[in-house]
A and B are shown apart, each in its own frame.
Chain A
Amino acid sequence: MMKGLKKWRLFSLLAVMTVFLAACGEEQLSTLKPAGAVGKEQLDLLLLTTSIMTVVVIVVSVIYLLAFVKFRRSRVGENVIPKQVEGSHTLEVIWTVIPIILLIIISVPVLTATYKFADVAAMEEVDENGEKTALTVNVTAKLYWWEFEYPNQGIITAQELVVPTGEKVYFNLKAADVKHSFWIPAVGGKMDTNVDNLNKFYLEFDKTSKDLKDGVFYGKCAELCGPSHALMDFKVKALDRPEFDAWVASMKATEGKTASAESTDLGEATFANSCLGCHAVSGVGVAGSYGPNLAAFGDRNRVAGFLDHTVEDTAAWINDPEYYKPGNLMTGKYNVTPEEAQAIAEYLMTLSVEK
């Protein structure tokens, strides 16, 4: 029974490996289907280490199974006293040296990539006009949402990161309250947002996100940050450079936009009275607001990072955020009736820079 099971395990391991590494996970969030140079290099490392390690597992298992099959007491004889071997220097040397060689093979690309991924010198490069040549995004993680500031463009958005494809995008990462971690699995490995210091790294987006299932890559918070850690998702829209520039321009065009308390639209008026203190509707500004910037709310893929992007869900969220995202900091900061919430939701859907 034992023998059969062990063999079965070995084969299934191999089969599972091949199937899963070839095609598994969703394109918008699987590290196995990378859509950027960083993620691709990490996948290469994964494949390299996995193949070496699979060989190790197979070699160990084969010797082990062979030993087990050959030296069962039922085969050896009940009263046989085996030779009491002390050890073997030759074998010890062999199984010390071989792993060392394997580790050296692994550590070369590992060390190269470690330094490569940490190289953010280009963030400071400027062209002849003194303008930064690389795109930098300041990411601030907050309970439980993400703020994305584009310091060189003077614009700001939240929950949905918009990036150009085909170039290195640099990130300054920071947390405003407790530690979080910024992760876009399908594009590249994560980095923590600490409360103490700024972390810097870069990612590259090779293809636009519009052909993906929801038209976006999925981003996750990867560090336990409280009850709603699991819901602290964000989305990433990767655009061609011209489209990205157009997006930046239309964001800039929202400068000075605000909601009016005198508006005839109930939604806008209520928003102006109850929400505007924390949520800006102009995409021009700097980081540090209490609530997510809503200038591009109508273009988003989700409400609150994970709810469906519909008026109903938006209204439900406004009515009782605590129910959807326990521990969030919006609960109890305002007082609106269900009708007003509905109106606000409808108003928010009109806030768009893309349509």
Chain B
Amino acid sequence: MSSVAQKKGFGAQVWDYLTTVDHKKIAIMYLAAGTLFFAIAGLEALFMRFQLMFPESTFVSAGTFNQLLTMHGTTMLFLAATPLLFAFMNAIVPLQIGARDVAFPFLNSLGFWLFFLGAVFLHLSFFMGGAPDAGWTSYASLSLYSPGHGIDFYVLGLQISGAGTLISGINFIVTIITMRAPGMTFMRMPLFTWTSLVSSTLILFAFPPLTVGLFLMLVDRMFGANFFDHTMGGNTIIWEHLFWIFGHPEVYILVLPAFGLFSEIIPVFARKRLFGYSSMVFATILIGFLGFMVWAHHMFTTGLGATANAIFAVATMTIAVPTGMKVFNWILTIWGGSIKVTVPMLYALGFIPSFVAGGVTGVMQAAAPLDYQLHDSYFIVAHFHYVIVGGIVTALFGAAHFYWPIMFNRALNEKLGVLTFWIFFIGFHLTFFLQHFLGLMGMPRRVFTYMGDQGWDLFNLISTIGAAMMGVGVILLVLNVLISIKSEPLNRRDYWGDGRSLEWALETPLPFYNFKQTPLVRGYDPYWIEKQEGNKEGMVYAEPVGDIHMPNNSILPLIMSIGTFIAAFGALYSPWGDQAIAGTADSVSPGLSVGLIVLGLGITVGAMIARSLKDDLGYHVHVAEIEAIEKDLAQYRATGKKGGNK
């Protein structure tokens, strides 16, 4: 078994990816799936912006627009940003801590397949009677009222993909706590690993409330329960709480790894140690902690009362303090450094002012009485896009350029990258800056159209032009990826020349076991330390070359996920739901509905039983094989030809 891509048949390749438990391959699958959904959600955004380009436009209908806005938000957060960050977490975190894989490779694969099939399920709604249309927040009164199966697709799709996210989060927590190489103490962990750990912990605590909320919604919608039906004693505000107890930490789940990525990029291209490492770690943990204390600032206008609003206003403002610490630490990292403006650094440099702009509007909204004006207006739309695009998407794009050499042994084109950055960056500000003012000028969000002569026409037009530029930027980035496939393999370590953490010490392409010998970490920025001491191998080792224990591939994660997918259809077409009874949604016979649920869950549980009864102890790569693989790799790097043995 060689890690250098051997010529395999297409079927064998596909099978390899369907069954893989290798964190590097799962990372690539996350990247591909995340990019697909990012493109879909981006297209939805463009449709919406074209609809709003002119007043009273009829490009899309009111109902379609609500489906677009719901799917745009849901997809971008759950099915694009999350998997794209998971892609980098999977690809890089094990390398940064000196591990050969994650703690639970099987669960890693299960997490991916659950996410992917949940996402596919949700998107089938477009072809099966209409997508969800109650916003990504899916507030209970509207979502219970919504006819058809859109909301059911939302509830079930997110339930499945949410389980996948939760599983992946647990996996990363355990990986980072238990799989660190000797000497990689907590306070030597790279910031991306730290933020991944904190973010995964947030997932662990934030997703259960969502799961509970979705489950209650599921039985409300599909089996006629009344948790949120106020006419039957239910309460819709409970949904708002459950959703935002999840929903606010979700923002930090996404933005913290993005902070981590920038904390990796900036020191490399400033050629300088991250300023205030320990305060960065402290700030990360503090943001994660405070992230759970502020959810009700999404509900200032719900009518919780002055005291609740006051407490949540102050709590929300406090988040600005650790966030400010981070921003200043980044700037002080640059200060006194030697700045090289590469594409990843360009994204990092663009990120700082954009994110600060998004952050300060957050403080403005934390001022509860002011938020009464800003809430649910375009001001909010501008604010969270400054945070999400300015903070998270720039991190993803920057990290793609930054880590491409490690993930694919290829580099993305710098010139094209610079062009992409400027088009995207200018487009981004053009789209969202003026939306602050649209909100202040009285434009509510989530409107499918507006009447002319309300003073909004020009800004909406400019905003749409900006959105089109962002679209062009994304197309250029995809083009860059496609071009890179045909480019020369790099076959080297430390592509950027100033790598600091362990992942840069590895020579690409990586063997499937990552580290021939487990490294010994002698300090923060271990690769930098070794380089400074003239160590040509980039690391010192904690063990002699020995047998390596690796996990077996398995198709069971996919089968388990397919089981939940089938069961979801059974629940979706349940004949007991209010909408089904009212005749506003199709349903199947009780037998078929229950049958599908039993069959689907049976497949899942059966696969779990099979997994439990048959011990899978993995296998060992013996020393002789390791030497052969390393020889192969060395030959490949030198000549570009694949080895003959095996």
By a beta-carbon cutoff of 8 Å, the part of chain A in contact with chain B is: 2, 6, 9, 16, 20, 24-26, 29-32, 39, 41-42, 45-46, 49-50, 53, 56-57, 60-61, 63-64, 67-68, 70-73, 76-77, 80-88, 91-92, 95-96, 99-100, 103, 106-107, 110-111, 113-119, 173, 175, 177-179, 181, 183, 185-186, 188-192, 194-197, 199-200, 218, 220-231, 306, 326-327
- Give B365's nearest chain A residue, CB to CB: A49
Residues from chain B with Cβ under 8 Å of A111 in the complex? 310, 313-314
A95 touches B324 (CB 8 A): yes
Does residue B237 face the partner (Cβ distance < 8 Å to A)? Answer: yes
A76 touches B302 (CB 8 A): no
- A107: which of B69, B314, B441 is its contact (CB, 8 Å)? B314
Does residue B367 face the partner (Cβ distance < 8 Å to A)? Answer: yes
B275 touches A85 (CB 8 A): yes
- B270: which of A71, A107, A218 is its contact (CB, 8 Å)? A71
Does residue B548 face the partner (Cβ distance < 8 Å to A)? Answer: no
B61 touches A326 (CB 8 A): yes
Residues from chain A with Cβ under 8 Å of B364 in the complex? 46, 49-50, 53
Residues from chain B with Cβ under 8 Å of A63 in the complex? 328, 331, 335
B437 touches A57 (CB 8 A): no
> Which of B135-143, B168-176, B578-586 lies at the interface?
B135-143
Residues from chain A with Cβ under 8 Å of B62 in the complex? 227-228, 230, 326-327
B313 touches A107 (CB 8 A): yes
How far apart sit A118 and B133, CA to CA, in the bound complex (Å)? Answer: 33
How far apart sit A216 and B358, CA to CA, in the bound complex (Å)? Answer: 34
Residues from chain B with Cβ under 8 Å of A183 in the complex? 376, 444
How far apart sit A107 and B370, CA to CA, in the bound complex (Å)? Answer: 11
- Shortest distance in angstroms between A47's beta carbon and chain B's nearest beta carbon? 10
A42 touches B454 (CB 8 A): no
How far apart sit A200 and B270, CA to CA, in the bound complex (Å)? Answer: 55
B455 touches A25 (CB 8 A): yes
Residues from chain B with Cβ under 8 Å of A49 in the complex? 363-364, 367, 370
A60 touches B331 (CB 8 A): yes
- Shortest distance in angstroms between A35's beta carbon and chain B's nearest beta carbon? 12
Residues from chain A with Cβ under 8 Å of B447 in the complex? 229-230
How far apart sit A326 and B303, CA to CA, in the bound complex (Å)? Answer: 29
Residues from chain B with Cβ under 8 Å of A114 in the complex? 306, 309-310, 313, 368-369
Residues from chain B with Cβ under 8 Å of A71 in the complex? 270, 334-339
A106 touches B377 (CB 8 A): no
Provide the B251-285 mask, 1 if CB < 8 A to any CB of A, else 0: 00000000000000000001111011111000000
Question: A179-B139, A222-B377 given as contacts; is B271 within 8 A of A82 (CB)?
Answer: yes
Can you list 15 contacts pairing A with B, beta carbon distance less than 8 Å? A39-B373, A64-B331, A71-B337, A82-B270, A92-B279, A100-B321, A106-B363, A110-B370, A113-B368, A173-B303, A185-B442, A224-B139, A226-B146, A230-B62, A306-B451
How far apart sit A195 and B270, CA to CA, in the bound complex (Å)? Answer: 55
Residues from chain A with Cβ under 8 Å of B448 in the complex? 227, 229-230
A57 touches B357 (CB 8 A): yes
Provide the B300-337 mask, 1 if CB < 8 A to any CB of A, else 0: 01110110011001100110110011011101101111
How far apart sit A218 and B464, CA to CA, in the bound complex (Å)? Answer: 25
- A118: which of B235, B305, B440, B449 is its contact (CB, 8 Å)? B305
A192 touches B336 (CB 8 A): no
By a beta-carbon cutoff of 8 Å, the part of chain B in contact with chain A is: 61-63, 65-66, 69, 133-135, 139, 141-142, 145-146, 230, 235-237, 270-273, 275-279, 301-303, 305-306, 309-310, 313-314, 317-318, 320-321, 324-325, 327-329, 331-332, 334-341, 349, 352-353, 356-357, 360-361, 363-364, 367-373, 375-377, 429, 433, 437, 440-442, 444-451, 453-455
Question: A60-B353, A190-B373 given as contacts; is B317 within 8 A of A106 (CB)?
Answer: yes
How far apart sit A150 and B624, CA to CA, in the bound complex (Å)? Answer: 89
B276 touches A88 (CB 8 A): yes
- Give B321's nearest chain A residue, CB to CB: A99
List 12 additional contacts besides A25-B442, A42-B369, A87-B275; criterion CB under 8 Å.
A2-B341, A24-B440, A29-B442, A60-B328, A63-B335, A81-B338, A91-B332, A178-B145, A179-B236, A188-B372, A194-B303, A224-B142
How far apart sit A49 and B230, CA to CA, in the bound complex (Å)? Answer: 38
A32 touches B360 (CB 8 A): no
A57 touches B356 (CB 8 A): yes
A68 touches B349 (CB 8 A): yes
How far apart sit A192 and B228, CA to CA, in the bound complex (Å)? Answer: 17
A24 touches B437 (CB 8 A): yes
How far apart sit A178 and B237, CA to CA, in the bound complex (Å)? Answer: 12
Question: A49-B363, A49-B367, A220-B442 given as contacts; is B372 within 8 A of A192 (CB)?
Answer: no
Residues from chain B with Cβ under 8 Å of A106 in the complex? 317, 363, 367
A95 touches B328 (CB 8 A): yes
A195 touches B230 (CB 8 A): yes
How far apart sit A326 and B277, CA to CA, in the bound complex (Å)? Answer: 56
Residues from chain A with Cβ under 8 Å of B325 in the complex? 92, 95-96
B441 touches A82 (CB 8 A): no
How far apart sit A343 and B90, CA to CA, in the bound complex (Å)? Answer: 69
How far apart sit A242 and B568, CA to CA, in the bound complex (Å)? Answer: 63
Question: A49-B363, A195-B236 given as contacts; is B338 within 8 A of A30 (CB)?
Answer: no
- A115: which of B237, B302, B306, B338 is its contact (CB, 8 Å)? B306
- Shortest distance in angstroms between B327's beta carbon and chain A's nearest beta carbon? 6
- A42: which of B341, B360, B373 is its contact (CB, 8 Å)? B373
How far apart sit A231 and B448, CA to CA, in the bound complex (Å)? Answer: 9
Residues from chain A with Cβ under 8 Å of B230 in the complex? 195-196
How far apart sit A197 and B304, CA to CA, in the bound complex (Å)? Answer: 11
B442 touches A218 (CB 8 A): yes
- Shortest distance in angstroms between A103's beta carbon and chain B's nearest beta carbon? 5
How far apart sit A63 and B333, CA to CA, in the bound complex (Å)? Answer: 12
- Give A143's nearest chain B residue, CB to CB: B145
- Shortest distance in angstroms between B58's beta carbon and chain A's nearest beta carbon? 11
Residues from chain B with Cβ under 8 Å of A30 in the complex? 440-442, 455
